[in-house]
Amino acid sequence: YDFEGCVHIFDWPNTAGIKIKRNYLDFPQKLPPPIDASKLPPMQEHLIRDGVSEESKALAQKQDIPSYLITYSCESSEYCAFQAQANYYGYLTSGQHPTRSGFLRLLTCQEPDDMASYVPTFTAPRNLYSRRYSPYNKADVMVKWFESTPNRPDNWDIIVVIDPDNWVIRDITHWIVKASEGHALGEAAW
């Protein structure tokens, strides 16, 4: 039968075998150490040239704003590697709040890849159905992240979800203070 109107997921052959591996979700995952402030790249050229808005400057001084974590989901591939690097670089150079912001790549993979030693990453194994419908990996890895007791984002007030090929170029704190529990914000697609 038609599951979503576009993909017949039950027409595929049955699984031929299963390989058992350690479950990464039951253990705290190691994040790379924070980058020392003296080794951070300079702000993006447009922020140096045009300056940071007065609103962003004022919000950067406040500590009573909600904490926020910028996340995106991806797979381990050469295609996603440049996106991971550019996305993390964008975060580091866009003037996010100095103490209330964070960044995390949500990786669909059996084990951490080489980028996980540079880019903060949570790794979750691929769901079998995601091979049949690849956009399934975003919802799947997010659910596994929230269900992974030692890794879930309990210490963040707001989770910002972006696409891996859309990185931040300016501070988003002015949007963060407008969101609240039960009142999410989103950008129009077109």
DSSP SS3 for 50: helix
pLDDT for position 23? 66
Q: Is the pLDDT of residue 178 over 70?
A: yes
Residue 146 has pLDDT above 80, yes or no: yes
For residue 182, what pLDDT is reported? 86
Distance in angstroms (rounded) separating the CA atoms of residues 165 and 98? 23
- Give the model's pLDDT for residue 3: 47
Identity of residue 183: H
Neighbours of 187 (CB within 10 A): 7
Which pair of tokens denotes residue 57? 């400057």
Which of 34, 18, 53 has the alpha carbon at shortest distance from 175? 53
* Alpha carbons 103 and 59: distance in angstroms, whole number: 18
Candidates 1, 29, 11; CA nearest to 123 is 29
Segment 92-121 shows an average pLDDT of 90
Tokens 């381990």 correspond to: 76
CA dist., res. 141 & res. 130, Å (int): 10
- Residues in a beta bridge with 69: 102, 159
**The model's pTM:** 0.79
Q: What is the pLDDT of residues 20-29, one digit of tens each?
A: 666 667 777 8
- The model's pLDDT over 45-99, given as tens digits with 9 standing for 90+, comes to 777 667 677 888 888 888 899 999 999 998 888 888 889 999 999 999 888 888 8
Which pLDDT score, from 0 to 100, does residue 1 have? 40
